[in-house]
Each structure stands twice: as C-alpha cells, then as structure tokens.
Structure 1
C-alpha cells in the first residue's frame, strides 16, 4: 500500500525555493516512502529541477490533481492567501504554516512557523535562518545536526575568473553600476578576471558596467539560463553577489560566495546557507535589522568600497581565512558561514569590530526560543545572558528594569482575557521586540484565549528568572 504524500506549498521567489531544498532532503529521510510534492512557480522550479532534491513539482494550475488526495503532512511556506486557503481545504494528518478555515479565518500552525511570522518587520535580533525555520516544526533537531554540507570548491590558483552578479530584487539590495565598474578595475589590477552575470533584467546593467569599466570583461548578463549558470560556475573561483536567488543557487552548487549583504536583508536569515561562505555587512545600527529603508539615502552602502571587496576576494581565492580576519575595514564586519553543534546555521564573526551587542542579544533570544519550543534546555540561554550582561551591563540593567511593566501588562491580560493594543509589540523597546513581537502574534493566533494568556505568563516568568540571575 502506497504511503500518503507530503505537500509543501512554496509560492515565493527563486531564492526561497532554493532555501527549501534542505527541507526536501530532510523530509525524504524523516518520512521514508512518502512522496514529496511541492507547489511552486513553474518559472522558478523548472530550471532548478536538475539540481533540486528529487521531489514532484506542481504548478498552481495543478490544483485539480492535488485535491484528489489526502496527505500525511502539509507545510505551507507561502505568504499568499490562496496558499493558506488551499492548506485549509485539503485533508491531512498534520498541517504547518498558515491555513484558512471555511469562514476565511487564518491561523498559523506550528511553533516555528508562528515564530517566523513574528519576525516580519521585527528581525533585528533574529538568529534563525529561513532554511532552518522551514524545518524545525517537523524535522528532529538530531537529524538536522547529523547533516554534513559539502565545502565549496577551491580551484587551482591559476584559475582566476571571478563572477559578479549585478542584480537583486530591489535596488537597495545591490551595489550601483559605478561600484561594479570600479570593482572590475580593482579585481583586474590584482590579477583576477571579472565576469558579469545577471538575468534578462540586468542586460542593460551589464552593458553599462562594461562601458564604464572600459577594460577586458566578459558580459554574460541575460545570456544564460540557470542550468548554464551552474555549469559556467564550475570554472569560477568566486561569486561576488548581493542577497539574491542566484547567490543561493551558487552556494547550493558548490561555488564559493562572497555575499555583499546590503540594504533591507538580514544575512542571519537569508545568507548563503552552506559552510565556508563569506558575508560582509555594515556595522551601523540601522543596518542590523532593516525591513525597509526610511532614511534619505542608503548609508549602509557607503562602507562597501570596490578596493575593500577586491582585497577580500583576493585573500578568499588564496583560501586564507586568517588573512581575511586581519583586514581592518571600519564600518564593515566580515562573517564566515558554518553550522553549529546542533546543525543550525551560524555566522562566525572574523573581521571588523568586536562582536556587537546585537549579535550577543540575538544569541540570547535564539537560545531562549529554542528552549521554549523544546529544542534544548535553558542552560544555553543562561550562558548567553551572562555574556550579554557582562559585556553590556547598561543594556542588561535596562532590560531588567522593564520586566515589571511587562508583567503587569500580561497579568492584566490574563485577568480580562483582553486583546493587547495594536501598537503593543512595536512600542516596546528594541531590546524586547523579539519577545513581544512573538507574544503579540501568539495571542492573536490563539484568539486571546485564557489558555494562551497562561502560556504567555509562563514564558514571561521563565524570561524573568533568566534575566534576574546575577
């Protein structure tokens, strides 16, 4: 007797689909014998099929077939209302993610899917990667921890071609044309040969970069499909790219990535997922959790200079991390990607100023939520809080001073089972937003039931006991 399929709804962009590939692999190993079906945009999944895990893809037009089946598990990773409606309509043994009932009310199922929704416009201190959040509700942490991702390729030092992917989904997430042209000059001056890449939308950018540069450069913008990009990538030493779908494809295919993480992206969430890639991020406060820029210009772009990027690229192709770590670049931090003792994505700070207060607090919230949802015990949260309070005593005291007000708010809510004001999470200090954003959405998702208020008080009491330890 055949086993019921597992259905994943992933109707987002190409990068989101590639970041779902680890989930597909883990589902195959965790639910042996169950077919894995994925609903995705055909323009994204079809060219990725040669490198995708072995799943069965369906376009949205294939709903007629999907409605004929019952499922072992449905995982909705999409933000579209149509996907929530479909997840609610289909019959399954378990469901995760947004699912709508017949009357149109939508609830988010799964602790980690709810947590992920709570970091929308609230991700300053989030330290969980999207690829991990896709899986934590249904894949045992032990299986994630046993996964060994291959290292990126290292070619002979005589192979000196460097790929530059010019575009991104938003202008704020990519360097300017003048930057790319100057970077071509800096790379060439250090013995590296730049090659320009981009999709059809970047053809004009490629022409302008080559024209302004005026030197020898191969312009492949708009000339390759994704399969051909993977093939050409086998001959590149390095791929310098903003946070975009082809960056994730490069990392997945074994091409070493230097991610220029600029604009409204968070590399802890969407950085190159495999091991030993490099991420560069501005150190300014507004760049550490920006959802959309509200300033008069993109100040987070300023520290990214072509000469700096070329120096890092040269040391990367020599495979010399110690040399990278010695680079002094005020205004920038360099990170190296790896997976921690639990198998979860992590960024190792290797150059720039010391570990920031934001990274330390992010580590605390990661440990706190992981323990709250049963991944591990609270000892890691206690240790992370100890490090934060020792290094940032003023901020730690401020967090402690705010605890009584939070406690009063939650106790009042339990007594009345009353909704919180819409501004509750956003009006709280940034130090607490990771916590209050989740709490607010959790209560809304559970219709402010008495049981949900009791759960909130339990989370608060555990938090208070951690923060008050000296």
Structure 2
C-alpha cells in the first residue's frame, strides 16, 4: 500500500516466501493502479486492492506482514488472525474506561526499520532486505542468485532518460536533462525521454531545450507498455523512482543518479550489477534536505554523466570478449574505474558475505579516501545490528570495529566517549523503574551525537513498543553494553 517503487521492492520478499512456502497461497494488498501493470513481471501472487479487506478478514493466515506506514494498513493487519505478525499492527489495549487502541511493531528488524525514520544517516541495510529479515531464513537470502543485467538483443545505441521522481529535489533539472541528451546525441547515441503523465510538461520542456522533439515519449506509455519499452534499452539513466526499480527487476542495466533526500544504500536498484552515481558531500543520503539548496544535486555535471554513460556501454560491449579471454572486459571496467568524476562517487550494486545488498565503490573517481571513515562507520553499525539481531556472531562485529579503529582512531575514541554518555543517560532514565515511573524523554533518540543514533533510535522505539516494561529496559541495557564490549 505504497508507491510503485515500494511495491517492486517487495518482489524479493515475495520470491523468498514463494520458495520457502511453495504450497501456501501468497496474497498481497496493494495499490491497484500499480499492481495491475506489474503483475506480469513479479513473483506469483494474488493481488487485492484495499477495498477487498472484508474478504481478507474471513481467513486465518500463517503470516501477516505489513510493510506500509499507512494507518489503514496497520488497522487491517490488526484485524487479521495469523500465527505470526510482522510490521505495524493496530491492537486493542486496556479495559473498561482505560480501553483504547495503539500500534505495535512486530519483529525486531521491522522495529529497526521503523527507528530509521528521520534517523537513517548510518544505515546500510536496503529496504528490500529489511522487508524480509524477520520472516525469511538467512540461508535463503544468502543462497539466492539474482539475475544480472542483460544488454544482449537490445538497441545498441538507445539510452533511456527517465526524467521524473516523486519529489523535484530527487531529480535533475530540465536544463541538465537537455544538456545530457545533446551530449549523448553528439556521441552517436539515441537518448529517449521517458516519463509518465506527470512528466509530460517536463518532457516537453526538455525536448524544446535540447531541440529533440522526436525523442520525447513522456506520457505516451501505459505502465505495461513502459515495462516492455525499457527492455529495448541498453541503459536507463534515472533518478530514484519507481520505473528505475521496474527496469532493474527486468534486467535492464540502470545508472541511478542518486540525489536529494534519498539514501542509495536503502533504495538503489536491488539486483546486482547496476550502477549508482552520487555526491561525496557529508550530508548525502539524508532523510529530508535542510540545506538552502540541494547541494548534492549541484555536483552532477551533464558532460561527465555523458562520459560515464559511454564508458558503461563500452564495458557492456566487452562482456562477451571477457567471457572468452578475460582481457577486453577487464580493460573496459578499468576505464570506468579510472574515469574522473570530481565531487561524485560511482558504485556498483552487489552482495556482501551474508547475501545482503551492498554498494561497492568503482575506483576512486578522483576522490581518494574521502568517504572512507563514514563508510567504515556505517559498516560497523551494519555488523553490530547483524550480530545483535541474529545474522552472524560477535566476531564479525569485532572485525568491523577493528577496521574502524585502525582507519580513524580519533573517531573510534569519540564513539567510546559517546557510549559512556549514553550509559549515564539511560541510567538516569531507569531511576524510576522501581516505582513504575521509568521513562525516556521525548528527545532521547536525537539528544545524542549522530554517531550514536542508530542505537538510540532503536532503543527509543523498542522501549516504547514494549510499553516500557522491565524486560524492555533490560534489553535496552544489554544493547548499550554490547557495543562497549566491542570497543574495549
């Protein structure tokens, strides 16, 4: 019950559930305007619009998984009987005059995901993985081989430019798109302007500026027709948007221009082998932009993106030769890695040792080790949560801490001090536990420095979600002590 991209990012979960429970029917409640066009490309499932909820309430389920933040989704989840629930669920609480309803989040990974709202700076887990980690065995995720992008049989010169995004800050401007289209034409390529009805005016503006009206196909396709057309593209250049996920899922190579209030670690193309280009400034990946202008978007230059597009296409051309002798493909890949992109970094989608989504830097693009401390910091928190929430043992978390401490001793020492302060703050909140008055202040999660917020955000949510019971406080104390054991 979200946007198109959110629906496509449930497809990995649906595929894993289908593999884990081949004899169980799989039902999905979603937005009909999206799922009708996407059913032919998604895993086998039965889709229902929300107005079919009365029919759904008549059954009992093995699992109910709510991936929506909408209140009516939580209400529906609360009305369905199941052996297990995951995600937000509206429940009755209290009796008599104290009776009421409140929303609880079921599943520790779903709780972690909820704690990322306005608090995702150091998160390295992709939404598609977070959808599944509570209810799909780790062995299933680790053992999945996702199809790689395919360029064979496509128009060798056709490059799609998807112009729109859910918010203007998440996409390039009309002058940028026009300049990029002209430069691609100059290189002998065939850029095509794509978009839905909402991008019709933008497409006309870009076509006028680029003097290429014949290449504007914005608003021309239904969703199934757009899906079919993207299969003819050698590459789709796109901001973070639903059609980007559709293209990647159907093995169309994509270059994601990641800008504005998006975190590519969470919402980049999920299958391996696609590319992400983003700025290297410290605020990149924010939940909501607070700058006077969208600084990360200003780093993108049409000429450099055009050079990158051409380099990626040459890399594609070398793949058959690479499979034969391993030489030409390696040369093409090294050209992409050596391409200088000042103020930007190029990454390739891949998988880590757990089979979870990863973004792998492609060369240094002229930026050296600029982003290394933050990357190592994110990897530490990723390893910490994978340890605490059961994906691997403590040893991997210790290695991540050692990597961080070696690369940046000053940052490691700052984290030690911050953890000590968090312990004192939590101890103060616990003073009223014996009298039932133990509470966390409303600003608890963000009163601590950003380096601690992956932990404080989760602590705040988990204590509230468990109604501040003694067991919830005990888990909070354990969570605070855990990183301290790694950093000593």
TM-score range, shorter chain: over 0.9
Task: Give how far 1:242 is off.
Answer: 0.1
Cα distance per residue 1:356-383 (max 9 Å; x no partner): 3221111111110011011100111111
2:441 to 414, 418, 421: 421
Task: Give how far 1:44 is off.
Answer: 0.8
Question: Which residue in the other structure is 2:322 paired with?
Answer: none
Taking the aligned partners of 1:263 and 1:426, their CA distance within structure 2 comes to: 22
Taking the aligned partners of 1:171 and 1:321, their CA distance within structure 2 comes to: 33
Taking the aligned partners of 1:374 and 1:412, their CA distance within structure 2 comes to: 29
2:218 to 218, 221, 234: 221
Question: Which residue in the other structure is 2:164 paired with?
Answer: 167
Taking the aligned partners of 1:81 and 1:446, their CA distance within structure 2 comes to: 19
- Note closer, same or farther for the CA distance 1:59–1:156 as it changes in structure 2 (3 Å cut): closer
2:404 to 388, 392, 402: 388
Cα distance per residue 1:91-120 (max 9 Å; x no partner): 111000001112311110000000000011
2:306 to 310, 315, 321: 310
Taking the aligned partners of 2:282 and 2:446, their CA distance within structure 1 comes to: 17
1:64 to 31, 40, 54: 54
Question: Which residue in the other structure is 2:291 paired with?
Answer: 295
Please show how residues 203-214 of structure 1 align to structure 2 within 5 Å: 203-214=200-211
Taking the aligned partners of 1:263 and 1:217, their CA distance within structure 2 comes to: 30
Is 2:347 the partner of 1:331? no
Task: Give how far 1:403 is off.
Answer: 2.2
Is 2:5 the partner of 1:43? no
Task: Give how far 1:321 is off.
Answer: 2.5
Taking the aligned partners of 1:183 and 1:218, their CA distance within structure 2 comes to: 13
Taking the aligned partners of 2:391 and 2:228, their CA distance within structure 1 comes to: 39
Is 2:376 the partner of 1:356? no
Question: Which residue in the other structure is 1:411 paired with?
Answer: 427
Instruction: Tell whether the 8 Å contact from 2:110 to 2:130 is kept in structure 1 after alignment.
Output: yes
Taking the aligned partners of 1:175 and 1:295, their CA distance within structure 2 comes to: 17
- Note closer, same or farther for the CA distance 1:215–1:32 as it changes in structure 2 (3 Å cut): closer
Instruction: Tell whether the 8 Å contact from 1:125 to 1:362 is kept in structure 2 after alignment.
Output: yes
Is 2:99 the partner of 1:109? no
Unmatched 5+ residue regions in structure 2?
Answer: 93-99, 316-331
Instruction: Tell whether the 8 Å contact from 1:280 to 1:334 is kept in structure 2 after alignment.
Output: yes
SS at match of 2:119: coil
Unmatched 5+ residue regions in structure 1?
Answer: 1-10
Instruction: Tell whether the 8 Å contact from 1:196 to 1:217 is kept in structure 2 after alignment.
Output: no
The two structures have a TM-score, normalised by structure 2, of 0.92
Question: Which residue in the other structure is 1:340 paired with?
Answer: 352
Question: Which residue in the other structure is 1:321 paired with?
Answer: 333
The two structures have a TM-score, normalised by structure 1, of 0.95
SS at match of 1:132: helix
Question: Which residue in the other structure is 2:321 paired with?
Answer: none
Taking the aligned partners of 2:147 and 2:154, their CA distance within structure 1 comes to: 20
Instruction: Tell whether the 8 Å contact from 2:148 to 2:273 is kept in structure 1 after alignment.
Output: yes
Task: Give how far 1:461 is off.
Answer: 1.4
Task: Give how far 1:157 is off.
Answer: 9.3
Cα distance per residue 1:36-72 (max 9 Å; x no partner): 0000010111111111111000001101110110111
How large is the Cα RMSD of the aligned pairs? 1.3
Is 2:139 the partner of 1:142? yes
Question: Quick check: 343-352 or 176-185, which moved more?
Answer: 343-352
Taking the aligned partners of 1:293 and 1:461, their CA distance within structure 2 comes to: 33
Task: Give how far 1:218 is off.
Answer: 1.3
Taking the aligned partners of 2:153 and 2:23, their CA distance within structure 1 comes to: 42
Instruction: Tell whether the 8 Å contact from 1:410 to 1:453 is kept in structure 2 after alignment.
Output: no
Taking the aligned partners of 1:215 and 1:25, their CA distance within structure 2 comes to: 41
Taking the aligned partners of 2:144 and 2:171, their CA distance within structure 1 comes to: 32
Question: Which residue in the other structure is 1:372 paired with?
Answer: 388
SS at match of 1:187: helix
1:55 to 39, 42, 45: 45
Instruction: Tell whether the 8 Å contact from 2:247 to 2:254 is kept in structure 1 after alignment.
Output: yes
Taking the aligned partners of 2:86 and 2:176, their CA distance within structure 1 comes to: 43
Instruction: Tell whether the 8 Å contact from 2:419 to 2:452 is kept in structure 1 after alignment.
Output: no
Cα distance per residue 1:65-85 (max 9 Å; x no partner): 101101111000010111111
Instruction: Tell whether the 8 Å contact from 1:414 to 1:454 is kept in structure 2 after alignment.
Output: no
Taking the aligned partners of 2:340 and 2:397, their CA distance within structure 1 comes to: 32
- Note closer, same or farther for the CA distance 1:280–1:217 as it changes in structure 2 (3 Å cut): farther
Question: Quick check: 22-31 or 149-158, which moved more?
Answer: 149-158
Taking the aligned partners of 1:344 and 1:332, their CA distance within structure 2 comes to: 24
SS at match of 2:101: coil
1:282 to 261, 279, 283: 279
Question: Which residue in the other structure is 2:230 paired with?
Answer: 233
Please show how residues 415-454 of structure 1 align to structure 2 within 5 Å: 415-417=431-433, 418-454=438-474
